[in-house]
């Protein structure tokens, strides 16, 4: 369910910012379910009822109390060491919205839920590795660009990522 949402989101919403090779490489290397977020209870899912009453998963996103900046289970450079809320920023992670539900406030809803939960856990700063597609949303929510870097992908491509931060 979540991986299908992630695939649809990336293939449907990131085509203006990334090449087809970058998108496929990112799905193979970086984008995917992060079971650590689910296990930690810091991952949120937005559902909506379909016309026949079934539940549709239309968005997902989370925050982390661990050092990994971005990437799913199969991403390189994972660091599951716990963060210190007094000295480190919670990581905002793994936001995906189904293309049919884009621009309806789902990303904002997820971001608000993540910030509130991380704040309740003692964090006063937030950090993320944003996709180029996500930067406008995060900028509108007072996140500030810190640096740009390229994440190497298994297919030889690289994925431009923007490290962004926000203080309460």
pLDDT digits (tens, 9 = 90+) for 130-146: 999 999 999 999 999 99
Written in H, E and C, the secondary structure of the chain is CHHHHHHHHHHHHCCCCCCHHHHHHHHHHCCCCCHHHHHHCCEEEEEEECCCCCEEEEEEEEEECECCCCCCCCCCCCCCCECCCCCCCEEEEEEEECHHHCCCCHHHHHHHHHHHHHHHCCCCEEEEEEECCCHHHHHHCCCEEEEEEEEECCCCCEEEEEEEEEEC
Higher pLDDT, 50 or 113: 113
- Write down the domain spans for the chain: 2-167
Calculate mean pLDDT across residues 53-63: 95
CATH code, 2-167: 3.40.630.30
Name every residue whose Cβ is closer than 8 Å to that of residue 46 and which is 6 or more positions away in sequence: 57, 58, 59, 60, 106, 109, 110
User: Beta partners for 126?
Assistant: 90, 166
| Residue in 151, 149, 153 with CA at minimum distance from that of residue 29 | 153
Strands 125-131 and 90-97: parallel
Kindly report, residue by residue over 17-50, the tens digit of the pLDDT: 999 999 999 999 999 999 999 999 999 999 998 8
Whether the model pTM is above 0.85: yes
């Amino acid at each position: 369910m979540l991986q299908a949402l992630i695939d649809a989101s990336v293939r449907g919403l990131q085509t203006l910012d990334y090449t087809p090779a970058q998108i496929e490489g990112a799905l193979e290397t970086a984008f995917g379910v992060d079971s650590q977020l689910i296990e930690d209870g810091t991952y949120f899912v937005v559902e909506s009822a379909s016309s026949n009453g079934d539940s549709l998963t239309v968005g997902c996103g989370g925050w982390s109390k661990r050092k990994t900046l971005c990437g799913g289970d199969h991403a390189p450079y994972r660091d599951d060491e716990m963060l210190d809320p007094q000295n480190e920023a919670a990581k905002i992670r793994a936001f995906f919205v189904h293309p049919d539900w884009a621009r309806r406030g789902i990303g904002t809803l997820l971001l608000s839920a993540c910030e509130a939960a991380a704040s309740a856990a003692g964090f006063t700063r937030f950090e993320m590795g944003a996709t180029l597609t996500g930067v406008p949303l995060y900028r509108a929510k007072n996140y500030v660009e810190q640096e740009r870097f390229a994440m190497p992908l298994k297919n030889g491509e690289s994925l431009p990522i923007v490290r962004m931060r926000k203080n309460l």
